[in-house]
């Protein structure tokens, strides 16, 4: 939940009028597999709730497996009949096929960086010493034959001589940690297993801290996990000997437990949370054997975490009594919040600070666009870093001893480039810029503000090709999220470049529930104010229609995870508003989401059906699974999920699809595309991304009435 191209495009005043004037919807016959009803009745606050498809929650059953195979057979039979599927796949492959290089970082004697040649499933980690030629350090493409095993966290000991890295198999959140001797690139000891939601925080060169749950009984993909524990692993010992540092006792029971270690190895910080927002904070003095935990915050009323330290002085970022965040100074000798001193005060814009090369870099969101200001460790303003344009700047992190600072910049029409900054004088040069045949000057990306149902002004960035006629007939994807304090800032997506070169409009509103305007904006889209998020999204669609960017017949709505909920709620509340709905890995059963894996941790945003009768009725009122009405005409729907998604279990998508297929009226198809050996999205191999978006774009355009691509590529691609 909490979860980041090649023939030349000839610019012309292209419109879709000729393509869309006489469009007649061509249909493909669909015969849905039968989904057997096995009613289970729950009584919640004296209200009987019938769940006809509870059996689909059993991801280990042969019956569920057979249902998945049958649904996929129908879905892919349909998708294979879309006449330009091969063209889309080829074009997406061409777009993605360009070299991508990440900024370097130093560990021990080596500088490390990741690089993807273009169509590699996963980026490769390279290293170089001094002026020597780079060599491969880790190649995740060798982890599995089909590319479904991916690299997660990679972390080095303080001297850089030992590395530990996590891998995910088949997209699962359950990880393994492998310890490597850096010089020889050989595995040093037995692999750590059954690790979930963790960092790898090294203490000197001796060992590291990591977090996990006890392996659940039953299905590891769906069983509830709610007691996270922090462990310490000493290099050269068995995982069985790892000590629990925090989380084993009833008093220390929390759903999420994470850690940080100060750069000087003196202090361990422990964060404990019961939901995805708010954490307690404890400090342990590692320089004193058997030291006790020092309580800094004994409540979860804020998000507070370490940025940097100088001996006994810790620098924290917090939204405690500061909804837009600020940086405070904590003296370990007087650590509680009443003794904190403001270092970078709160402003009207949301702050995300970092440190590198002995400086602070305060990154602000100004209407979802980046502004970066540099400070020294005395709190003096050094300068504003003049960015390459309007968009999203990220990075500005590193060690105190670093001499250069790296950052990247992107927006919806500009591929990400990286820059090397001299922190002493503020000048920077281009470190790496992608080479691809996509001309950013051929596209427009404008921010507008529209009015939601209750009068709230909401920003939205709309991106499309220059010369596009606003005639109401442009295929449009409206993408949203709206939750968990997540901010949608401008970023280039290769897949959306293909969409826009087809004359497509790509619109992204900054809905309430996100973090674009701080904690107040987040809270305004949670629990019994969640409808604000859907209203914001609906109002965005209405703006696009009223201003002739598109019309209901050419509008698709898209979102994943919490954004999948957004799509599900919007399409069940206003099915006539869009032609296509694309809910991905969605949270769709709002009465039971908290019973799976770590789902109960989302209660800060959603509330649960057990909280109160009012909360139950509110959730029941918008839960997509419970609001599909028999005889309603829903948009053409392509539900997407992964069979190994253990964050938002696929049962959400299975049950929603079953309800829609049973109750849908009219000819619009309802299909589910279930990716095998895939999870919630992180680490998805490039081949699968290409295949997924081939089908998403093909399904969308075909159901908008296009029998051929609106702007067929002129070269390289054969249909």
Catalytic residue numbers, as ranges: 561, 680
Q: Cα angle at 606 between 52 and 587, to 5 degrees?
A: 45
Q: How far is CA 151 from the centre of its chain?
A: 16
The closest alpha carbon to 139, from 173, 163, 119, 116, belongs to: 116
Q: How far is CA 114 from the centre of its chain?
A: 20
DSSP H or E segment with residue 114: strand 110-116
What Rg do the C-alpha atoms of the chain give, in angstroms?
A: 25
The closest alpha carbon to 355, from 393, 402, 320, 313, belongs to: 402
Q: Other CB atoms closer than 10 Å to residue 159's CB: what's the count? A: 13
The closest alpha carbon to 210, from 184, 179, 170, 188, belongs to: 179
What residue ranges in 117-251 does DSSP mark as E strands? 124-128, 135-138, 149-156, 162-169, 174-181, 186-187, 192-196, 201-203, 207-212, 229-234, 243-246
**Bridge partners, 294 (sequence order):** 283
Please write down the long-range contacts of 67-72, taking CB distance under 8 Å and 24 or more positions apart. 67/33, 67/35, 67/654, 68/643, 68/654, 68/674, 70/33, 71/33, 71/657, 71/671, 71/672, 71/674, 72/672, 72/673, 72/674
Give the position of tokens 């970092």.
354
Using an 8 Å Cβ cutoff, are 372 and 387 in contact?
yes
Q: How far apart are CA 481 and CA 562, in angstroms?
A: 6
**Bridge partners, 410 (sequence order):** 392
DSSP letter, residue 596? S
The two three-digit tokens of residue 601, written as one number: 């941790």
């Amino acid at each position: 939940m909490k979860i980041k191209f090649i023939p030349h495009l000839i610019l012309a005043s292209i419109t879709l009028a000729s393509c869309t004037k006489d469009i007649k919807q061509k249909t493909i016959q669909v015969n849905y597999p039968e989904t057997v009803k096995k009613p289970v009745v729950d009584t919640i606050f004296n209200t009987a709730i019938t769940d006809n498809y509870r059996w689909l929650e059993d991801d280990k059953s042969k019956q569920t497996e057979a249902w998945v195979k049958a649904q996929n057979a129908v879905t892919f039979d349909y998708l294979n009949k879309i006449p330009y599927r091969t063209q889309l796949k080829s074009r997406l492959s061409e777009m993605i096929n360009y070299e991508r290089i990440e900024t370097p970082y130093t560990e021990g004697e080596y500088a490390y960086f990741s690089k993807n040649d273009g169509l590699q499933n996963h980026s490769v980690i390279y290293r170089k010493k001094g002026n020597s030629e780079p060599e491969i350090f880790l190649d995740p493409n060798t982890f599995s034959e089909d590319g479904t095993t991916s690299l997660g966290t990679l972390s080095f000991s303080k001297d850089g001589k030992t590395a530990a890295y996590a891998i995910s198999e088949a997209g699962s959140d359950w990880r393994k940690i492998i310890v490597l001797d850096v010089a020889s690139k050989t595995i040093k000891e037995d692999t750590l297993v059954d690790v979930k939601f963790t960092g790898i925080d090294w203490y000197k060169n001796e060992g590291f801290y990591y977090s996990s749950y006890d392996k659940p009984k039953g299905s590891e993909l769906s069983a509830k996990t709610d007691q996270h524990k922090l462990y310490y692993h000493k290099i050269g010992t068995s995982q069985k000997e790892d000590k629990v540092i925090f989380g084993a006792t009833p008093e220390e029971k929390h759903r999420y437990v994470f850690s940080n270690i100060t750069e000087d190895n003196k202090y361990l910080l422990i964060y404990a949370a019961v939901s995805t927002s708010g954490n307690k904070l404890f400090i342990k003095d590692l320089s004193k054997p058997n030291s006790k935990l020092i309580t800094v915050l004994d409540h979860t009323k804020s998000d507070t975490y370490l940025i940097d330290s100088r001996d006994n002085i810790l620098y924290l970022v917090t939204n405690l009594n500061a909804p837009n965040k600020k940086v405070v100074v904590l003296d370990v000798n007087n650590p509680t919040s009443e003794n904190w001193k403001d270092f970078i005060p709160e402003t009207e814009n949301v702050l995300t600070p970092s440190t590198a090369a002995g400086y602070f870099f305060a990154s602000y969101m100004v209407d979802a666009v980046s502004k970066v200001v540099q400070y020294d460790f005395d709190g003096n303003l050094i300068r504003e870093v003049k960015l390459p344009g309007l968009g999203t700047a990220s990075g500005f992190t590193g060690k105190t001893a670093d001499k250069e600072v790296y950052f990247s910049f992107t927006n919806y029409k500009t591929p990400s480039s990286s820059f090397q900054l001299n922190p002493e004088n503020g000048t920077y040069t281009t470190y790496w810029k992608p080479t691809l045949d996509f001309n950013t000057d051929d596209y427009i990306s404008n921010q507008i503000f529209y009015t939601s149902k209750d009068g709230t002004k909401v920003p939205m960035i709309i991106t499309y090709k220059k010369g596009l006629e606003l005639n109401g007939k442009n295929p449009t994807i409206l993408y949203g999220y709206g939750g968990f304090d997540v901010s949608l800032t401008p970023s280039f997506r290769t897949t959306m470049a293909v969409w826009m070169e087809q004359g497509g409009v790509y619109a992204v509103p900054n809905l309430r529930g996100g973090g674009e305007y701080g904690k107040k904006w987040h809270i305004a889209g949670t629990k019994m104010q969640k409808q604000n998020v859907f209203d914001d999204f609906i109002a965005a669609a209405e703006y696009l229609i009223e201003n002739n960017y598109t019309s209901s017949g050419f509008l698709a709505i898209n979102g994943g995870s919490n954004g999948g909920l957004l799509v599900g709620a919007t399409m069940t509340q206003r099915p006539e508003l869009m032609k296509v709905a694309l809910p991905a890995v969605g949270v769709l059963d709002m009465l039971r989401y908290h019973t799976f894996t770590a789902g109960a941790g989302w209660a800060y945003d959603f509330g649960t059906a057990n909280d109160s009768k009012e909360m139950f009725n509110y959730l029941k009122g918008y839960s997509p699974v419970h609001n599909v009405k028999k005889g309603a005409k829903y948009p053409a729907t392509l539900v997407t999920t992964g069979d190994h998604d253990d964050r938002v279990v696929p049962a959400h998508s299975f049950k929603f699809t079953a309800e829609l297929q049973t109750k849908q009226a009219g000819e619009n198809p309802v299909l589910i595309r279930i990716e095998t050996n895939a999870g919630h999205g992180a680490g998805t191999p490039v081949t699968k991304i290409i295949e997924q978006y081939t089908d998403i774009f093909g399904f969308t355009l075909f159901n908008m009435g296009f029998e051929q691509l609106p702007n067929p590529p002129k070269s390289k691609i054969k249909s």
